Amino acid sequence: MAETFAQSIVEFFQDKIPAELIIFLISMLPILELRGGLIAAALLNVDFIPAFIICYIGNIIPVPFILLFIRRIFQFLRDKKGFSKIIENLEIRSMRKSEKVKRWRNWGLLAFVAIPLPGTGGWTGALIAALMDIRIKKSFPIIALGVLIAGIIMSIVTYLVPSFFGF
């Protein structure tokens, strides 16, 4: 799913804005994050090192804001018509995915963010950490390391494996 969505974004913007900006913006998006950014970078033939750095930074930028402000934003929006259900669904879905985090706390948060599967990553990890009241001093470094590990895994999948098989 991330690959086809990333590919359609790449095709739409390819001739309009620089490849580096495309992968940066994709990496900042929830769901796609660094995973989608690296796939887009490979599709755009962006060299590995710059692609990795750009995608990592793009994925990390929203995390402190989520950790610091998401509860206040949710509280503010909860009173607004139409947002109450959305907020409730986000909280329920995030907390449902948080079983490992609840059980193993820091290691669970790291594993949750590091394993590049749909619905995991920096955005959801930050949301779970905020909802579980894990302090930013503790959660941000864990999430940053998890994004780094996810980036290494995705780099192998998007850059190393295809070149190994001659794609």
Q: What is the pLDDT of residues 87-104, one digit of tens each?
A: 888 888 888 877 777 788
**Structural domain boundaries in the chain:** 2-60+152-164, 62-149
Output the pLDDT for position 5.
72
Is 41 exposed, middle or buried, given 0-12, 13-18 or 19+ CB atoms closer than 10 A? buried
Of the candidate ranges 32-36, 70-74, 155-159, 162-166, the one whose mean pLDDT is the lowest:
162-166
Cα torsion at 69, 72, 78, 83 (round to 10°)? Answer: -20
Q: What is the pLDDT of residues 42-88, one digit of tens each?
A: 999 999 999 999 999 999 999 999 999 999 999 998 888 889 888 88
